[in-house]
Chains A and B, each alone.
Chain A
Amino acid sequence: MKVPLKWLQEYVDITLPPTDLANRLTLAGNEVEGMQVIGGNWENIVVGQVIAINPHPNADRLSLATIDLGTDQQSVVCGAPNLRLGDKVAFAYVGAQLIDGHTGQVFRLKSAKIRGVASSGMVCSEKELGISDSHQGIMVLPTEAPVGIRLTEYLGDVILDLSITPNRPDCLSVIGIAREIAALTGQNLHLPEVNYQEAPFPIDQQISVEILAPDLCPRYCASLITGITVAESPRWMQQRLLACGLRPINNIVDITNYVMLEYSQPLHAFNYPKIRGKKIIVRRANDGEVVVTLDGAERVLSGDMLVIADEERAVAIAGVMGSANSEITPETTSVLLEAANFNQASIHYTGSTLRLPSDACMRFERGIRPELALPALRRASQLIMQLTGGEVAKGWIDVYPGRRDHEPILLSTAEVKRLLGVEFSLEQIVEALTSLGFDCKPGASEVWVTTPYWRSDIHLAVNLIEEVVRILGYDKIPTTMLSRPLPRQNHEPILKLKEEVRRNLTGYGFQELITYSLTSLERLHKLLPEPHPIEPMPLRVANPMTAEQEYLRPNLRANLLAALEANRRHEDDGIRFFDLGKVYLPRPGDLPDEREMVCGLLSRARIEKLWRGEQELLDFYDAKGVVEGLVSQLGVDASFEECRDESLLPSKQTAIVIANNRLGVVGELHPKVLEAFDLSETVYLFEIDLTDLLPFTVGHKMFQPIPRFPAIVRDIALVVNAKVAHQKIQGIITSFPLVAQASIFDVYAGGQVPPGKKSLAYRIAFQSPTHTLTDEEVNEVQQQILDKLSQELRAMLRT
């Protein structure tokens, strides 16, 4: 909301400099987002009067004007077509800073000779002064402008640009802001005086109003003004409307807008003779009813929208926009002026459904009070009478089905203290509230407060407390630390798990990424080497911003692969990164199952080629090693089982299994998936469902005593079929009680081993918790192990 300071000054004395005033308003809840200073650069520009015009001796289209400036007179060459004897103009002395009418550049005025005649100064256009873009002629000032006065003093202004919060529709008005300033600075408010002579003919013989939808229209006031002349509104009014961002149209429309800016009450003027049947009916629209609005567009309405109608047709969409069929035209001589109140939700619905946001709509949907209708109606009637030469019919229409009493609210000093933590005296409280127009009936330590008719946001004691503290100042609230006993802490274990996983992975050299939770079907399809429909369908956003962000991701890998693709445009080195976040799995009739997942990608160099040593490439066992390290650090034992993840190479993937639960996967991405993501390299992936992993990480471990007796270590090399898995051999070896540990230290296939076979070498540590083992004991167990390996896996001892 833009408010010129000079307009405000009509209603309240402003004692603070503009920046201080802006600061006070901001602190009290009406934020001043910007200030536009008009005439801040108008040094050496004064109001002058044209007292003589003579032809230029050397140029037909130029004239010589003599300008009276009170203390002196100046003669200038002027080419403006609208230069007229006696007009008041803005005169710039040499040295003034102006804007070039053609180039828009700022320049400083110098004395000049134009076609041989000296010209000292200049009569300015609006563009040259920076007021508007108009450069057709010089700016003509009102006749009452005092000659010799500095133009800044006469026309300069500061326009405050306020951001009004949705709870304060009353502040979407000059009077509303003036009222705030009065309360904040201890000044009095002067409201415009509304007092006019009515014509003898009574309004109720000219028009009647019926409200058929009282739930959507709590009040409807109207007045009738006849004998008007539609013309341009006066210059001062046009300037104010422009300063507030409204385009002047004609005197009638301008007055309705002007009064709306004053009171925050929207008004609408109907071309009275066009109202058929001399009757206004406020009713719900018929489904499919069509209204041609003032902007010429056809609007199709629905049954939950409100229209203003006459006996035959709708003449306006209530509170949103008038209809062309009752528009004010230059020929209009009598107007029916409406000041009504409409249901805020209904107006919001209609305005947003029809995409017709307007200044009126904005005020109604924030819930202005119905009490504002009548004062605004009378103010506008008076202005129309004064400025258009019309007569106001006797009386006014006031249908008011939504009238209700506002109960006073009890506010105690104790409650103020309980909520704010600071003690204000009853006097301070009453004074603050009274300054805002609240009616206060104080008792001993409490006060009954009645809300003024313009405030729609006050319902409870807390609302009053805010009023008190914002007037007295938020800086009056002390700062204290929470002093109550600490609440019981039940930290969610998933938070700790997520942090541990993040910190471990970064420790392993993985960069954390955060990818969007939204993705596209197209991208998800890239994960499928063999195309098929995605089952189950991921959750869809009904109003996606872009097609790339239409679905809630059912996995992390799609967006992560896209991130790898993007980084490969500028990054050749080895990459390891991960994302830890939610996936969203649909559940019928309920919010989705949000699961915490971690997914990592690895590709290219394990270690960049250095000045010594060769470049090593990351492989499957790096990815698996990360998973093993991670789960081990989390205190969990994982095993690995066969797995069928279609996005991974069938032969190079394994499921991560904890206590018989499949919680994730490690593997190499399928070449077709890589191709779909435009990646020409081998990429390894791991993925763990942290929501499922969580229960296995929270249990307490039991201490294992450090072995007291030494271990005996033996190395054995076995020859087995090439497809026998290490995990099986290790499982058999460690199934013997005296085996403390069995680790593989060599895998070999080639010349010294028969074709189709491989050799695996294990280092086995034998240890007893009760005594030092003898060689004989170890020999015996080792033989048992070899026997079992031979029986179950046809493993031979390599000699």
Chain B
Amino acid sequence: MKIWRIFKMALSSLKINKMRTFLSTLGVVVGVSSLILITSVGYGAQYSILSSIQSLGSDVVIVIPGKSANLFKSTVGSNAMRKPLTYDDAKFLKRKMPYAKIAPEISVNTTAKYGRTEVTTTVVGTNADAFVVTNYEVAEGRILTDRDIVGYRDVCVLGKKVADELFPLGNAVGNYILLHGNKFLVVGTLKEKGAIGQIDMDDLVFVPITTLQSQLRTKNVQIIYAKPPQGMSIDVLGARIKSFLIARHGMENFTLNSFEQYLQLAKQVTDIFTIALAAIGSIALLVGGIGIMNIMLASVAERTREIGIRKAVGAKNRDILIQFLLESALISTSGGIIGILLGIFGSVLVPQDILPTHITTSAVIIGFTVSFLIGVFFGVYPASKASKLNPVEALRYE
């Protein structure tokens, strides 16, 4: 018997009891749509981290004070207290490796004021290299220069958000603003950069590191970014920084990281998240499968006479088996297709700025395949039950 015939037969059987067919797909619909939605959220998180790190440049080495094996552990260890990272360390590294971009950074949360407008923001003391490391583009004016740094100048460069808030009409460059009560000349503004992780890269004000350090009465920096020149890997640069700093400090009292490591970690975290939630979706699918089995068993019982008639005119056990298997696979696969569409629809409805979503082809293919397999798997028992019916007894069934 031709498979196409059986397929048409199965399809017309399902049409007879439309409501029941529809209801029996629901479990799989819920399972597949939640699977699609959940993985889209998981992948969305990964992609947003990936893209923000790419916008920063993943080829950046990060040096933080204190020795820590774990990225998430506090970096303020006892070693760090004894010997923190200083601006001199950064200058030393630059002297040893003039080819690299070295950007030390110290930041403080404070207020920025222009006229009557006052906003809270983060002031970052850094140098000219920082703008290269973080791939900022100038909107107006200029970035910080070495002369600003060396001269302890009271100048600042505004991030897009701060500039917009203090100078809604534009023309920020050339005006004086107050940072924590101290007067600074705005020499430039930056183009929009977006957020990297938790940090809004546009809600920042950049000042010469020398100026901020003298105001804070410190020689320390919180972080040093280093970017290798073209053709050098971050591993090579990292190794050099490590040996230079150990030689200078006499011990390894700092930690080297790269964004790549952060990326790996973020990936791991979202992977675990995705797997955990996908497991929940799978349970929904399992329940859907059991629902289909239940309906198929009822259908087999109800259609005992039909099975008897088919067998009486020559249907083999295999013909009946395939017919019922196909019916159950059709139910689950159509549930799967509806689920995929609903999942995609749902992931589009999720507000992307809160929870970015990303639909992957593999999720769609897996959703489709799994729903088909569920129909086959949970259809085997009812179908084999149907196929093994004795024709005479089946015909006698009322």
A and B are interacting partners = no
